[in-house]
Structure 1
Amino acid sequence: MTIYQNSLPFNENNPPSQDGTYRDKLIQILAQDLNFHSQHSGYASHNFHSFPAKFPPQLPRTFIEALTHPGDIVLDPMMGSGTTILEAWLAGRRGIGADIDPLALLLSKVKVTPLDVQTVIRTGNTIVENATSAVRENHLALSETLKKQWDAKTRTFIDYWFAPETQIELTALRLEIEKIDDPAVKSFFQIIFSTIIITKSGGVSLAFDLAHTRPHRAKVVLSKEGAVLIGQELRDNPSPRIRFLTKTLRSPITEFKKRFQQNVRSLPETAQGKIPPATFSGNAQWLALADHSADLIVTSPPYASNAIDYMRAHKFSLAWMGLDIDKLGAKRREYIGGEFLNHFEFEKLPEASAAVVADIRDCDEKKARVLHRYYSEMTRTLREMFRVLRPGKAAIVVVGSSVMRGRDTRTQHCLADIGRAIGFEVPGIGVRSLDRNKRMMPVSANGDKTSQIQQRMHEEYVIGFYKTE
């Protein structure tokens, strides 16, 4: 574990802290081993759904337990899969989370909503039984429903990524889920429905690597019985890559049943002793929260330049939930770290951060503008975090550094620099190593593994921002 403490080549003239005990505790935590590689992270409802670039739940829990008291407000303004919100809820704090991603909002709410287990089991069994019966007995009616389900562009997307027989079973499941009257129970099963689509292997779609947001379509597709449905000519002369991109269809109903039985075992059954969290649709740059209202912030913003493209994966299940591809594309433009630059309002950056953008501009003007957009968005986000955080409290920001045109964007240093310009102290930046099979940034197979940039792709940075009294 490494900690940068008053040693960065940026503005280090922080004013003395007004709360030495709290500030010292923050520094001590940042200096701890924050890797958590050997610890189980799938407890409670953390394993409900795949989500790219999740930090381990032990990370927010460490700061929540050390820096807050029961009843305190813990905020995550970019909550993603709701890891911080769930940990706050489990610890008896009041979690508040915001996000603009529809799937993130649904998932975070489900993970902290207690349900009656027996009711969920009965409902799940009914869904499976009725969907199975519908596929067997009402195949034609399901096909007619499919024809009316989407606009032309969304229809093309569905046909490209989902085999016809898969579409029939997914339609049967979706129709059964829509019959559920209880909104909380319906949301629980919508998440299970999404889970069988968005997985590391691509779930029941024709995609691979959906959980890593860079899907590739299968080149060869086999039926459940082993018959070749797509790519017979490639199947006859398979190369190693073709073998890798060969997929055997799985029954959505069977996968749904498996996942339902798994998730129900982790279902929160009671809220006794826990404070109901609040989640809402909102942009972290403009939070609908009062000044000085949060006791702790723990969050992980996106990478710059859509390095992890959440919507690219999430639209696979959101389209099945009735959202059009065009509308999802428009929503994607709002995400922090995007590449859409028309009519964007850029912020003036501190000198050192501006120099990083200028370094990228030397080789790629557009990439530099994309990076400037990211640091502008993060300037507004950090400004909001400073506004809503109580004096004498901390904001923990977990980031990874991107690489543009072979150059490190130095995200952790730039965000620390921006935070200081806003008024934060930065007592330290912890460095945690990522498991190779869990990291999200690709490392070149032929690149120099000893280079600074390649090594940083295996690291994540935990920035400790402190708001003085």
Structure 2
Amino acid sequence: MVFRSHDDFVEEIISFDDFGKTTVLTPFEWDVNGRKGLTVKAVNEYWTSGQRQANSLHEISYRACFKAQLPEFFISRLSKPGDGVYDPFMGRGTTPLQARLMNRRPMGNDINPLSQVLLAPRLNPPTIEQIAERLDSIDLSKTIEVYDDLLHFYHKDTLREIIALKEYLLRKEENQTIDNIDAWIRMVAINRLTGHSAGFFSVYSLPPNQAVSIKRQIKINEKRNQIPEYRAIKPRILKKSRSLLKDWNRAEIGQKTDTTRGILSTADSRKVSEMPNDSAVLVVTSPPFLDVVDYQGDNWLRCWFIGVDSGNINISQHRKITEWEKSMTDVLCDLKRIVIPGGYIAFEVGEVRGGEILLEEHVLRCGVRAGLEPIIIMINQQQFTKTANAWGVINAQKGTNTHRIVLFKNSSNETL
């Protein structure tokens, strides 16, 4: 369904009962530079919290990413096939990938170059036969780089294979001969670097979306009395590739419109010049929540594999809410330029600092300053999944069981 007016969308949100729950409404009064208004907060369960309910191509790990059901909810209601759907903080690329799967034009940006490496090959995947043939052709017997500290994660022969693959891919990139098959292999290898099962290259470590430091891995090894065993990387890349591709149907996805002509960029989200004016109908995004997640530290090993020093990536992490608001206002001003008049921006945040700071209220004010019209605040509330429980997170305490989305409409040309 595609709503012709935001009133239709709001009406559905208020009456929503797909999971047997009634929407709870509370008013939020706001005042921004003398402009006053009232926006409703609607609390319900709007999409499932179940694991692996989306297309298998989404099943790569990344720190603090939302499930595909979130962008799917808005894409299905507020855009149509062929429309541009954009995320300025794309992370692993959930929004642009879901847009691609729904025959929209994927548009994504992230200041971390790792994001584009993770997303691009999944927009137009190779076949499993192409992947297997390419893997067979890559020589993993010789390396130049020496990085003995990584022997706390890997058996020496596994580490040799990882470095050999890294050097092969960097040579292809330098020579501008890297193709989508190589890019796919790189993406999958990144997602197999560390983890807590035999499907990963490393000895037991933390879940794959968060690479621990070398010092921390030494402690894990000592506590578990473990020594890295040899794990061949090619069969693990191939196995994960089969898993990712199991739901992919090129003919079905591509039959309605050409959605491979997406736009991907690596820029500061406050000014993404690669994104043309009036090029997106819908934005679905989630920015860093103040300084809650250390994206640089968590991705150090993945960035090493693609030849990037994560410490040199200027990812915004603000401790003060005033600094965060200024940054988000700038982001929303740029989104106003990119989104067509009448288009929508679904801006997702979470509770932080034990619920003391309700970021959705701050985001709403930022959007009003940027000249956007707040339509509704949706709070998707649900029980934790086994993933959150594995981290020892308790419902309603750390906030990861709620998605708090402010929906804006680009209704005018004014800014405050």
TM-score by length of 1: 0.69
Q: 1:168 aligns with which of 155, 160, 174?
A: 160
Q: What are the Cα deviations for residues 367-404 of structure 1, in whole angstroms up to 9, with x where unaligned?
A: 43xx332222111111211222222221001111221x
Q: In the alignment, which residue of structure 1 is the partner of 2:30?
A: 10
Q: In the alignment, which residue of structure 2 is the partner of 1:320?
A: 305
Looking at structure 2, the residues matched to 291 and 172 of structure 1 have their Cα atoms a distance apart, in angstroms, of 43
Within a 5 Å distance, the mapping from 1:411-450 to structure 2 comes to 411-432=359-380, 433=382, 435-439=384-388
Q: State the one-letter code of the partner of 2:345.
A: A
CA contact 1:77–1:98 (8 Å) conserved in 2: yes
Q: 1:258 aligns with which of 234, 239, 242?
A: 239
Looking at structure 2, the residues matched to 3 and 423 of structure 1 have their Cα atoms a distance apart, in angstroms, of 28
Looking at structure 1, the residues matched to 79 and 220 of structure 2 have their Cα atoms a distance apart, in angstroms, of 53
> CA, structure 1 residues 291+315, in 2 after alignment: closer, same or farther (shift >3 Å)?
same
CA contact 1:84–1:298 (8 Å) conserved in 2: yes
| Structure 2: runs of 5 or more not aligned | 1-20
> CA, structure 1 residues 191+401, in 2 after alignment: closer, same or farther (shift >3 Å)?
same
Q: What are the Cα deviations for residues 127-179 of structure 1, in whole angstroms up to 9, with x where unaligned?
A: 4xx44xx3xxxxxx54xx233xxxxxxx4764565453432231243355567
Q: State the one-letter code of the partner of 1:313.
A: D
Deviation, structure 1 residue 78 = 1.2
Looking at structure 1, the residues matched to 131 and 301 of structure 2 have their Cα atoms a distance apart, in angstroms, of 25
Q: 2:57 aligns with which of 42, 45, 58?
A: 45
Q: What are the Cα deviations for residues 42-69 of structure 1, in whole angstroms up to 9, with x where unaligned?
A: 424112x211222221221121121112
Deviation, structure 1 residue 303 = 1.5
Within a 5 Å distance, the mapping from 1:344-363 to structure 2 comes to none
Q: State the one-letter code of the partner of 2:401.
A: H
Q: State the one-letter code of the partner of 2:48.
A: F
Q: What are the Cα deviations for residues 398-426 of structure 1, in whole angstroms up to 9, with x where unaligned?
A: 111221xx672221111112212322222
Q: 1:274 aligns with which of 248, 253, 258?
A: 258
CA contact 2:376–2:407 (8 Å) conserved in 1: yes
> CA, structure 1 residues 293+461, in 2 after alignment: closer, same or farther (shift >3 Å)?
same
> CA, structure 1 residues 400+441, in 2 after alignment: closer, same or farther (shift >3 Å)?
farther
Deviation, structure 1 residue 464 = 1.0
Q: In the alignment, which residue of structure 1 is the partner of 2:312?
A: 330
How many correspondences in the alignment? 375
SS at match of 1:208: coil
Within a 5 Å distance, the mapping from 1:92-131 to structure 2 comes to 92-127=103-138, 130-131=139-140
SS at match of 1:263: helix
Looking at structure 1, the residues matched to 54 and 121 of structure 2 have their Cα atoms a distance apart, in angstroms, of 15
Looking at structure 2, the residues matched to 44 and 260 of structure 1 have their Cα atoms a distance apart, in angstroms, of 10
CA contact 1:431–1:459 (8 Å) conserved in 2: yes
Q: What are the Cα deviations for residues 103-146 of structure 1, in whole angstroms up to 9, with x where unaligned?
A: 1111111110142443223223444xx44xx3xxxxxx54xx23
Looking at structure 2, the residues matched to 95 and 109 of structure 1 have their Cα atoms a distance apart, in angstroms, of 10
Q: In the alignment, which residue of structure 2 is the partner of 1:80?
A: 91
Q: What are the Cα deviations for residues 24-47 of structure 1, in whole angstroms up to 9, with x where unaligned?
A: xxx99x766323124743424112
Q: State the one-letter code of the partner of 1:174.
A: K
Q: Percent identity between the aligned chains? A: 20
> CA, structure 1 residues 420+255, in 2 after alignment: closer, same or farther (shift >3 Å)?
same
Higher RCO (CA 8 Å, separation ≥ 6 residues): 1
Within a 5 Å distance, the mapping from 1:10-409 to structure 2 comes to 10-11=30-31, 33-38=45-50, 40-47=52-59, 49-127=60-138, 130-131=139-140, 134=141, 141-142=142-143, 145-147=144-146, 155=147, 158=150, 161-175=153-167, 177=169, 181-199=177-195, 203-205=200-202, 208-213=205-210, 215=212, 216-219=216-219, 221=221, 231=222, 242-243=223-224, 249=229, 251-253=231-233, 254-266=235-247, 269-270=250-251, 271-272=254-255, 273-276=257-260, 277-288=262-273, 289-305=275-291, 307-323=292-308, 327-331=309-313, 334-336=314-316, 338-339=317-318, 367-368=319-320, 371-403=321-353, 408-409=356-357
Deviation, structure 1 residue 438 = 3.7
For the aligned residues, what is the CA RMSD? 3.5
TM-score by length of 2: 0.77
Looking at structure 1, the residues matched to 389 and 407 of structure 2 have their Cα atoms a distance apart, in angstroms, of 22
Q: Counting helix residues as a fraction of each chain, which structure ranks higher? A: 1
Q: In the alignment, which residue of structure 2 is the partner of 1:461?
A: 404
Higher CA-based Rg: 1
CA contact 1:207–1:218 (8 Å) conserved in 2: no
Q: In the alignment, which residue of structure 1 is the partner of 2:7?
A: none
Looking at structure 2, the residues matched to 330 and 32 of structure 1 have their Cα atoms a distance apart, in angstroms, of 41
Q: In the alignment, which residue of structure 2 is the partner of 1:138?
A: none
